[in-house]
Every structure is written in C-alpha cells, then in structure tokens.
C-alpha cells in the first residue's frame, strides 16, 4: 500500500518555544517546526519489518541503563533516506552489566557475601536451601505442592473496570517536559514516574519534580543525592512511592556512582518520609528494583544483595541469607515473589519463592528447569513466571509458568519470540512490558505484520488460559495501529495503540468477554505531536506509560544528547482528554 505524501510545509499548529523542565510549559507546545519531510515515503515493508527507522509503535529501542542510546529519528524518517550517525558507545559502569556475565556473577556474589558478613545485617532464619514447601522434580518442570493450594489462574473474568469513558475522548497536548542538556557520550537517568489524582511526579537528573497533571505547573521539587536507578511501579493508598538513587552527583565524564540511597516520599506533597542506605559504612549495597507488598518495601540489586524495609519507618525487616543461593530480585503487589539463583558458576539453577513480606520466610519454593537462564515475575497473584532460554535469554521470555497458591506448576505456555512482541529489561526481575496477567489469562501482543488491504502493518493482543495453557481465542485487532496491553483495570485490559503514519495514539479499554475496544483517549495528530510521540520509545525498555481518569503521561528513563541541534527531546509528555 502506498502511503499519501506527507505535507511539504508544517501544519498551522501553535508551535511555541518550549520551556525548560523547571518552568511550567505552555499547553500543547512541542517546539519549533521541523524541516520538511521527504516527498513520499516508500511502500510499507514486508511482514516483520517496520515502516520507518524505528521499532514497532513508532518508537526506537531504549538502551539498557549504562549504555548510550541510538539516534532518535524524526517522525516519518523513511528507510533508504540519509540517517543521523549513531551515538558513540558509552562505557559500561562497573557492576551494572548483564547479570548472566560470568565475571559479574562471581565478583558481585563475593561482594555480597563480604558486605553482609562485615555489615552484620539482619538475616531471616529460613534454611539456606529455601525452606518452606519445595515443589520440584528432577527436570524442574513439574512438581507436587502441599495440600490446600488453590489455583487462581482460571477464575472468572474479573471485576468491572474503574476507568470511565470521558465525555470527549479527544485529548489536548497538556504539557511536555524538556530534557535537560546532556554532555556528549553521556547517558543520564531520569528513571521513575508516579501518578495520583493530584500530582504527576517525574524524575529529573538528581531530583524528582511534582506537577499539576492538568496544567504542568510545578508544585514541588525533591532533591536527591544523585541520579535515579529505580523506583516503585505503584503508589500506595497513602500516595507514597519509593526510589533508589546514586549516592552522589556524577562527575563530568558521566561515571556512575553507587545506587544505594533509598528514599520514600509523598507523591502529592513531595515530602521526604525517610532516606537510608543498607549495609555498613562504605559498604552500602547497591540496588536497582523496589516493590511494595503490604507494609513492606522490598529492594533488590541482582547478586549484590537485597533487603526488606518497613514502609513507615525505613527499618530493615530482613535480608536474604548468604549461602549457595542468592536473591536476584523481588516483585511485589498482593504477594511478594523472589527469583533466586543457586549453585556454583557454570552449574547455576534458578528458583522462584513466595515470601512472607514481614519475615522473608518462604511459603514455597519452586526450582526451575536446568536450561532456564533467566526468570521474570509477570504476576504475583496468581504467581506467573516468565523464563528465558538460549543466547538472548536475559531480555526475553520463551516460556510462561503458571503456578497455583501452593507453589505447584499448573502449566507452562511456550512463547515464540518471533511471533510475540514484548520487552524485558536485562538484570531486573520485575521489568517486562507488553505482557499482563488477569482474568485467569496472560495477555500478549503479537509482532506487527501485513494486515492486508488498506490496513498496512498491524498486530493483535491475544491471550492464553493460565490453567490449561491453551489459547483462549481472544483477539483484539490493532486495525492498522500497533497495539499492546499496558495494565489491567479490574477485568478490562487497558491497551496503548499507536500509528507511525499519522493517526496518533490512543488508550483503549478492552472488554474481556467480547474483546470489544472502547476508546478512552485519542491524542492530537499534528506533526509536532507525532514527532514527540515517536521520540518517547513507548512500550520499549525503560519507557513509562501512566494512564488514569482521562490523563495519559508518557515518560523516558534515559536521556542523551540529541543527534542534531534542531532535534527536541523530552523526558515526558502529557495528554488530557476533553481537548
């Protein structure tokens, strides 16, 4: 299908001069107009290729933490046209590489042992090999759990959703946050964003800033000792969130500092509740992931250590014991799940545990198959684990394990990486996008393909039953858009839709029974907005999608110097329905 030629002149948008991040930006401003686009883009590529020099859904791959991102192409940059030069490689910071690296595994495991021995940390008293009920057989794929377990994987289609359809789903570009200046070859972290009814909070470089979600007016600033490394994905009922940051500002060369300062803060007011490090003296443990489970904040740092803190006081409740197994990370929510690695180098095996958040004691332990090389927690209630095998195991999922409440494997769903499109962050247990669990099902996005006719490229959301492991027949079509699930809203699936050819982006609610899509928000389709959307790497590693009550916020976690002087970069953009 041949696409219509793009306009030769910028549309009559109110392109106003953008404001710095610390100033309230004007509504709908996305910087000066870009240069004219080529006369006509080529025909859409064949199945498996993207129409422009960017990943699916109109966004490029965001780099891993500690790696320089590639160039950000303007919206509509077709294949075959001259492209900007790639960003220069950024030296990997020590201790933040791929967890599967032999050197990192050996060194960090030794550091954790030394730190905990010297620091005299609080250790839970479960036995070294896990304790609790051990549900496994020799190959790790099946097991017999304790009596009384009840599988929630096949129950019902959930409660009604809370998100209502706005009176006017057409949204205005409410505001944008301009990215601060970044030195060449450096990559700065702005990881973390949180949303309440009153405040949208976004991490900046060495700080968190609160904004009025409707206007973008700055309401508070919380200084941090250094750049952010990770944050809770959720906000408590009391509007509390937590972030881990580096312990000091980075030097001019961009070298990373230790990610050891944990800060709990009030999202509505910006008030710091407490801040602390875990360890002894200069031996503070570095962390990357934080997750709430009840009144417990669990923090994980790969093989470098973990801890659980009381949300109210910051008191350390427990730390994992040293021994033949190490906690890799934690995922919270209704329950607390950890992924562990056990055994000597070259003979490691992964296992999953359901923990008591207050004590750290395992309620059950499930040993994964010997060929599993990475594990991600996709859901904690029911417990659903994504496992990776093969050369690219750390950033992908090749199988989905559905567990019952006793820790017994219900079924394993094979996942073809060439068929499904998801993104799991290397080195993090709770870091997969475009896979959500609800209604006793797991919902996945397929890869883009030729939709036939006038549709062009498209994809779908499909699901598998967590009890039988079989496809359910559910199918939500992109209809010419790229589509992927963002989160559950009761029993409904909230999904993000995007089209790189100029139809804008949408948030839709999918009914689990009929798979009918109801539009909740539609972004403007002006060229300035499309360029901004294209730069936000939506759905890729490190991207942040927050939607509530007719308000959509898209954020980045990493920023670098733009490849050209006239390219505008943002840390976040906001849309409000009713425009």
Q: Where is pLDDT greater, at 499 or 473?
A: 473
List, for residues 90-137, the tens digit of each pLDDT value. 233 333 333 333 333 333 333 333 333 333 333 333 333 444 565 643
Among 55-69, 453-467, 483-497, the range of highest mean pLDDT:
483-497
Strand partners, 496: 484, 507
Give me the DSSP letters along 476-534.
EE-TTSEEEEEEEETTEEEEEEEETTTTEEEEEEE-TTT--EEEEEE----HHHHHHHH
| Residue 90 is assigned to a structural domain of this protein | no
List, for residues 339-380, the tens digit of each pLDDT value. 999 998 778 899 999 999 999 999 999 999 999 999 999 999
Residue 91: CB partners within 8 Å, gap ≥ 6?
A: none
Q: Where is pLDDT greater, at 156 or 385?
A: 385
| Residue 160 is assigned to a structural domain of this protein | no
The Cα–Cα gap between 413 and 399 comes to 5
CA nearest neighbour of 176 among 26, 59, 14: 26
Handedness of CA 155, 160, 161, 165 (dihedral sign): positive
Domain count, the chain: 1
Order of all β-strands in the sheet with 207-211: 193-195, 200-204, 207-211, 218-223
The Cα–Cα gap between 301 and 335 comes to 19
| Residue 486 is assigned to a structural domain of this protein | yes
The Cα–Cα gap between 296 and 355 comes to 11
Task: Please check whether residue 202 is in contact with residue 572, taking contact to mean a CB–CB distance below 8 angstroms.
Answer: yes
Look up the domain containing 243 and give its range.
Answer: 168-578
Residue 378 is part of a domain; what is its CATH number? 2.130.10.10
Among 279-283, 307-311, 332-336, 538-542, the minimum mean pLDDT is found in: 279-283
Q: How confident is the model at residue 39 (pLDDT cuts 50, 70, 90)?
A: very low
The Cα–Cα gap between 52 and 44 comes to 9
Note the pLDDT of residue 188. 97
| Residue 150 is assigned to a structural domain of this protein | no
The Cα–Cα gap between 54 and 6 comes to 18
Q: What is the mean pLDDT of residues 18-45?
A: 40
**Burial group, residue 414, by CB count within 10 angstroms (0-12, 13-18, 19+):** exposed
Note the pLDDT of residue 49. 34
| Residue 83 is assigned to a structural domain of this protein | no
| Residue 560 is assigned to a structural domain of this protein | yes
Q: Does the pLDDT at position 51 exceed 80?
A: no
Among 44-53, 281-290, 486-495, 539-548, the minimum mean pLDDT is found in: 44-53
| Residue 51 is assigned to a structural domain of this protein | no
Q: In the structure encoding, which two tokens stand for residue 20, read together?
A: 């710095």
C-alpha distances (whole Å) from 317 to each of 320, 332, 416 are 11, 15, 40
| Residue 57 is assigned to a structural domain of this protein | no
List, for residues 133-173, the tens digit of each pLDDT value. 656 433 333 332 333 333 333 346 778 899 999 999 999 99
């Amino acid at each position: 299908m041949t696409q219509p030629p793009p306009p030769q002149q910028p549309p009559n948008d109110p392109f106003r001069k953008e404001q710095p991040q610390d100033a309230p930006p004007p509504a709908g401003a996305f910087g000066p107009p870009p240069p004219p686009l080529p006369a006509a883009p080529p025909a859409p590529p064949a199945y498996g290729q993207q129409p422009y020099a960017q990943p699916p859904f109109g966004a490029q791959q965001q780099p891993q933490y500690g790696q320089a991102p590639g160039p950000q192409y303007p919206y509509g940059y077709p294949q075959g046209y001259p492209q900007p030069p790639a960003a220069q490689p950024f030296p990997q910071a020590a201790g933040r590489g791929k967890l599967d690296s032999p050197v990192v595994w050996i060194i960090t495991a030794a550091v954790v042992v030394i730190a905990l021995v010297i620091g005299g940390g609080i250790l839970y008293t479960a036995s070294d090999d896990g304790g609790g009920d051990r549900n496994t057989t020799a190959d790790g794929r099946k097991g017999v759990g304790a009596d009384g377990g009840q599988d929630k994987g096949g129950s019902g289609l959930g409660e009604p959703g809370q998100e209502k359809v706005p009176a006017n789903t057409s949204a205005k570009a409410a505001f944008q946050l301009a990215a601060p200046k970044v030195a060449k070859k450096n990559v700065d972290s702005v990881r973390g964003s949180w949303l309440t009814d009153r405040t949208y909070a976004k991490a900046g470089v060495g700080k968190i800033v609160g904004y009025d979600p409707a206007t973008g007016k700055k309401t508070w600033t919380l200084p941090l000792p250094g750049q952010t490394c990770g944050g809770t994905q959720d906000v408590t009922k009391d509007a509390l969130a937590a972030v881990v940051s580096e312990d000091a500002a980075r030097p001019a060369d961009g070298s990373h500092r230790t990610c050891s300062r944990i800060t709990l803060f009030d999202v509505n007011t910006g008030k710091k509740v407490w801040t602390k490090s875990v360890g002894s003296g200069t031996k503070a443990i570095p962390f990357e992931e934080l997750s709430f489970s009840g009144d417990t904040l669990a923090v994980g740092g790969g093989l470098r250590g973990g801890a659980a803190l009381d949300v109210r006081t910051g008191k350390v409740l427990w730390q994992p014991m040293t021994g033949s197994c190490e906690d890799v990370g934690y995922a919270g929510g209704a329950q607390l799940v950890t992924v562990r690695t056990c055994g000597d180098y070259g003979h490691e095996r992964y296992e999953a545990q359901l923990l008591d958040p207050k004590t750290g004691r395992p309620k059950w332990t499930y040993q994964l198959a010997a060929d599993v090389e990475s594990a991600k927690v996709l859901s904690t209630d029911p417990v659903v684990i994504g496992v990776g095998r093969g050369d690219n195991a750390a950033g992908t999922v090749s199988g989905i394990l559905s567990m019952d409440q006793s820790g017994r494997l219900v079924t394993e769903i094979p996942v073809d990486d060439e068929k499904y499109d998801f993104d799991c962050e290397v080195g993090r247990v709770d870091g997969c996008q475009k896979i959500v669990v609800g209604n006793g099902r797991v919902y996945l996005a397929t890869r883009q393909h030729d939709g036939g006719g006038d549709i062009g490229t498209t994809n779908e959301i499909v699901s598998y039953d967590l009890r039988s492991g079989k496809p359910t027949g559910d199918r939500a079509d992109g209809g010419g858009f790229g589509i992927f699930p963002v989160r559950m809203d009761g029993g409904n699936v909230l999904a993000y839709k995007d089209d790189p050819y100029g139809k804008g982006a949408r948030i839709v609610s999918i009914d689990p029974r009929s798979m009918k899509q109801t539009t909740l928000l539609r972004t403007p389709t002006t060229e300035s907005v499309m360029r901004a959307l294209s730069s936000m790497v939506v759905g890729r590693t490190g991207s942040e999608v927050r939607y509530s009550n007719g308000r959509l916020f898209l954020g980045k976690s990493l920023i670098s110097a733009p490849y050209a002087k006239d390219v505008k970069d943002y840390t976040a953009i906001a849309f409000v329905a009713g425009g």
